[in-house]
Amino acid sequence: MTQSVLDRDPPPADERISYGDAALQFSDLRTPSGKGPHPCIISIHGGFWRNTYDLEHLGHLCAALTDQGLATWNIEYRRAGDRGGGWPGTFRDVNAASRYVFDHAAELGIDPDRVIVLGHSAGGHLASWLTSMENVPADSPIRAEPLPFRGAVSLAGVLDLRQGWTENLGNGAVVNFLGGTPDDVPDRFGAASPIALLPSPVPHLIVHGSEDGNVPMRMSVAYHVTATRLGGTASLLKLPGADHFDVIDPDSPFWPEIVSAILDLVEA
């Protein structure tokens, strides 16, 4: 397992920008050299929606993508265990952080027509959820105006919250995040689970390693099957031998295939 990516200090970001008033409402911006506006990857880190991990461990991936000519906007957000995190605050934070990119694209040097949202693990869930906003029930407290994403990338994402609860992923992480079981809070599961919001209007790149011991690859396979059956646009990149952290580590042998697929989505 290449979990060492969690322990290595990433290259520094160019700028840290607040998108809200709370202490954890900020993002790290990295901008490539050359004249913009640049395509942008909005990235959302994982950690089973808990405040155990922060945005730093996704900084390696962001720096590597910036080296490929992409601006990156690495989001921090309030999580379960933080004041205002969990339901519904986490959803509102990632939406607000993403909306900031579109509202301030010119000053950030970003091309608003080429913005991809990417997430790892729990962040993969949030990335896919953001691009399925038009299917969130209108009366849900996490509903917001849809944003014009060009695509979504899920890296080992938790794309089915009900299945995540059934399999007790992260030792009760889904219940901790949503505040109850599917029987307790069915409306929350219906409004928050990407597979329940299909078909998404935004093309998805779904990446998963066969040796993932944190989030089973079959969850991504099931999402891909359902998305294509319902008429959505989704591609599945299976990585034989890769584990949960290989997919975010630019030093892993799987990175060239991953970054190539991301660049193809940006330019599609």
Residue 169, pLDDT > 60, answer yes
CA distance 125 to 115: 18
Range of the domain at 48: 3-267
172 backbone dihedrals φ, ψ, rounded to 5°: 90, 20
CA distance 61 to 59: 5
216: tokens are 């089973």
Single pTM value for the model: 0.97
Tens of pLDDT, residue by residue over 4-30, are: 888 888 999 999 999 999 999 999 999
Report the pLDDT value the prediction gives residue 268, as an integer from 0 to 100: 79
Report the pLDDT value the prediction gives residue 2, as an integer from 0 to 100: 57
Report the pLDDT value the prediction gives residue 1, as an integer from 0 to 100: 45
Count CA within 13 A, CB hemisphere, residue 36.
21
Tens of pLDDT, residue by residue over 197-232, are: 999 999 999 999 999 999 999 999 999 999 999 999
Tens of pLDDT, residue by residue over 90-112, are: 999 999 999 999 999 999 999 99
CA distance 192 to 107: 32
Do residues 51 and 81 lie in contact, with contact meaning Cβ atoms separated by under 8 Å?
yes
CATH number, domain of 164, equals 3.40.50.1820
Number of folded domains that form the chain: 1
Rg, the chain, Cα only:
17
